[in-house]
């Protein structure tokens, strides 16, 4: 039987169910996996969709992907 991974979510400031696997590459992805819950990630996905639509971002464009990554870090870690 699969055990739920419980982490302290730095976004929600409480213990919550963690990700099943690393969703984002590299050091940022590791940090998200270790400290951001499924619930917080879902909140980011809603925000991300709004940003892509409102800013008309093209995910094939490196500049737009870097912009979205910066917004993700600001959203999840309030930096």
Look at residue 79 in the predicted model and tell me its pLDDT: 61
Q: Is residue 42 part of a domain?
A: yes
Overall number of domains in the chain = 1
Q: Is residue 1 domain-resident?
A: no
Q: How confident is the model at residue 3 (pLDDT cuts 50, 70, 90)?
A: confident
Listed residue (34, 66, 70, 67) closest to 11, CA to CA: 34
Q: Measured between alpha carbons, how far is 26 from 8 in angstroms, rounded to an integer?
A: 21
Task: Enumerate the β-bridge partners of residue 6.
Answer: 17
**Could you report the per-residue pLDDT of 13-57, keeping only the tens digit for each?**
999 999 999 999 999 999 999 999 999 999 999 999 999 999 999
User: Domain containing 36: what range?
Assistant: 6-77
33 found inside a domain: yes
Q: Which residues contact 58 (CB under 8 A, 6 or more apart)?
A: 64
CATH code for position 44: 1.10.3880.10
pTM as predicted: 0.90
Domain membership of residue 26 (yes or no) is yes
2: pLDDT strictly greater than 80: no
Distance CA 46, CA 71 (A): 13
């Amino acid at each position: 039987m699969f055990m739920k991974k419980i982490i302290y979510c730095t976004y929600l400031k409480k213990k919550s169910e963690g990700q099943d696997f690393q969703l984002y590459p590299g050091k940022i992805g590791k940090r998200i996996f270790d400290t951001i819950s499924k619930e917080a990630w879902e909140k980011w996905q809603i925000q991300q969709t709004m940003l892509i639509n409102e800013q008309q971002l093209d995910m094939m464009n490196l500049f737009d992907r870097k912009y979205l990554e910066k917004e993700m870090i600001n959203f999840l870690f309030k930096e």
